[in-house]
Amino acid sequence: MSSALSTLGAGGFSVGLELPLDNDWSMAARQAGSPRLPGEPDLQRHAELAKLADRLGFRALWLRDVPLYDPAFGDAAQVFEVFTYLGYLAGITRNILLGTAAVALPLREPLLTMKAAASVDQLSNGRLLLGIASGDRPVEYPLFGRDFAGRGQAFREQVGLIRNWAADYLPPGIKVLPRPPRPLPLLVAGLAQQTPAWLGQQMDGCLAYPGTPEDHAHRAAAWRAVAGNDKPYISFIHLDLADDAHAPMRRHRFGGRVGRKGLVAELAAMQEAGVGHIGLHFRQNRRPLAETMAEIAEFVLPEFHLAGNVADVAEAAVV
């Protein structure tokens, strides 16, 4: 197991954050209006909030890979090119893991994907978690000169290249540098046009769509049936953290509004269902993000990150 995967699973369950660190999907933000495209996040504070997440002890920062803005999807994700942004985050953070959720492999030139991922892994001192997928936006494939129907085969071929670092592909003496000192951890989002058995054998972990603890109990069991018990099952929650610590869970699509005590109960239920890591997504959150992150770090993370570094909590609300 890679050191990044070991760090992710330390203590048996961990909590991270999904970028962008923005709450532009909240009702107040929508009513206020914005000059940005629908779905385009406000990234003015991305650096300070990423550094704050690192200081507060969140375990991972997750980035989506959305090469082109398509208004039909209504979501521009975190906007920045994923490997460029990972390199930047590697330079401004120290401990937090850096994950992709997920890179659409068939859209990319395979050798350059390998070089970019290995560069981020070394520049971050082994903190990369490489989430990968086959891609699900048909409009992108012809624009990149790629075959949408053949993306499953392209995905398998690229996984093979990454696994043996193109040893069977390159001419003698030709290498892709840098080469990771240990295999990069590969986490699959969705089925990537593959069979569950193939994914269980080839992948190091699973990135699952958001759901309830009951949903995850079935999905995690299905993952363990093909992958065994040592490969993590990871998912995400779209969180709106209520001011009232005792506010009960009120579910909405992909997550819910809940107080911190209910959040602890929800995460405990996720852990019981077989989830190994949860990334919190804040775009529907109504409260300021630094304040929200500080409260979670003070009252929620210690319930799960037994050896975590929960530092600078008092400072967080005034950042």
How many Å apart are CA 137 and CA 209, to the nearest integer?
16
Q: How confident is the model at residue 1 (pLDDT cuts 50, 70, 90)?
A: low
Number of domains forming the structure of the chain: 1
Q: How confident is the model at residue 307 (pLDDT cuts 50, 70, 90)?
A: low
289 and 50 in contact (C-beta within 8 Å)?
no
pLDDT, tens only, 160-182: 999 999 999 999 999 999 999 99
Range of the domain at 228: 3-316
* pLDDT above 80 (res 137): yes
Q: List C-alpha distances in Å: 241 to 9, 85, 152, 184, 288.
A: 24, 27, 38, 34, 10
Token pair for 288:
């300021």
pLDDT, tens only, 245-302: 999 999 999 999 999 999 999 999 999 999 999 999 999 999 999 999 999 999 999 9
- Residue 81 confidence (pLDDT): 96
Q: For residues 134, 140, 144 and 147, what is the CA-based torsion angle, rounded to 10 degrees? A: 50
> What DSSP string runs through 181-250?
SSPPPEEEES-TTS-HHHHHHH-SEEEPPP--HHHHHHHHHHHHHHH-SSS-EEEEEEEEE-SSTTPPPE
Tell which wins on pLDDT, 1 or 30.
30
Q: For residues 263, 267, 273 and 279, what is the CA-based torsion angle, rounded to 10 degrees? A: 120
- Residue 27 confidence (pLDDT): 76
- Rounded average pLDDT over 18-36: 83
pLDDT, tens only, 267-282: 999 999 999 999 999 9
- Rounded average pLDDT over 92-119: 98
* pLDDT above 80 (res 243): yes
* pLDDT above 50 (res 69): yes
Q: How confident is the model at residue 141 (pLDDT cuts 50, 70, 90)?
A: very high
* pLDDT above 70 (res 208): yes
* pLDDT above 50 (res 317): no
pLDDT, tens only, 38-66: 889 999 999 999 999 999 999 999 999 99
Residue at token pair 């309830």: 212
Q: Find the CATH number of the domain harbouring 278.
A: 3.20.20.30
* pLDDT above 60 (res 107): yes
* pLDDT above 80 (res 242): yes
| Average pLDDT, rounded, for the chain | 93
User: Cis peptide before 142, with omega less than 30 degrees from 0?
Assistant: no
- Rounded average pLDDT over 210-238: 98
Tell which wins on pLDDT, 275 or 29.
275
